[in-house]
Amino acid sequence: MTAAAAAGGNNGTAASKSLKSPKQKELQGLLLDRYDVGKVIGHGTFAKVYHARNVKTGEGVAIKVTDKEKILKVGLMAQIKREISILRRVRHPNIVQLFEVMATKSKIFFVMEFVKGGELFSKVAKGRLKEEVARKYFQQLISAVAFYHARGVYHRDLKPENILLDEDDNLKVSDFGLSAIPEQVVVVVVVGGGMEVVVVVVVGGGMEVVVGPTTK
């Protein structure tokens, strides 16, 4: 979904056309003073994505609009909350940025970075990449993956369709909707000149510290 949202779209006369249906009046009213909403640039089972412009800054953004009734019906509210939490912790130059989240009784709005260059998949499909280009993409991808792994986040849907390119041909990882945070994380820290080991176990937000001798 995010990949489709950031792949393209221009703001203009499409804004008025895309907001005429009764179901979209709430979106128009909510965002009228903050975002100039344009056409739909992506859609899925539970959400639509619009291209929009921040009225104050003129910056282009992608707004993913999720229907609360639909996600409650299929029991996905916990997943949506997890996605929001994850996007707020993974701020990195090579990850699509979440700017803010807004909500009404019936909708959730993800205001995100608008990435103009489209999907990496589209570029790869045209033919083999030059070595220097492939190397740059690989380095940027590893940087992003290492960053969110270090924060206990696992994407679980990393593929060329979910990797975007900005106007400067820099890579951006997107769509953390299926990502996960492990229920248990074990961190081992050696202290005391190598004579002791501290094992920190985090389970469901709780923490237990176990101290014991090292083994050589």
CA distance 41 to 148: 27
Annotated catalytic residue, options 33, 36, 67, 157: 157
Whether 157 is a known active-site residue: answer: yes
Nearest to 96 by CA among 153, 48, 144: 144
The alpha carbon of residue 98 and the mean position of all alpha carbons in its chain are separated, in whole angstroms, by 7
CB atoms near residue 11 (< 10 Å): 19
CB atoms near residue 73 (< 10 Å): 11
The answer to whether residues 20 and 39 touch, using CB atoms and an 8 Å cutoff, is no
CA distance 62 to 51: 5
CA distance 174 to 42: 14
Residue type, 180: A
Where do we find the tokens 């700017």?
A: 99
Q: Which residues are catalytic?
A: 157
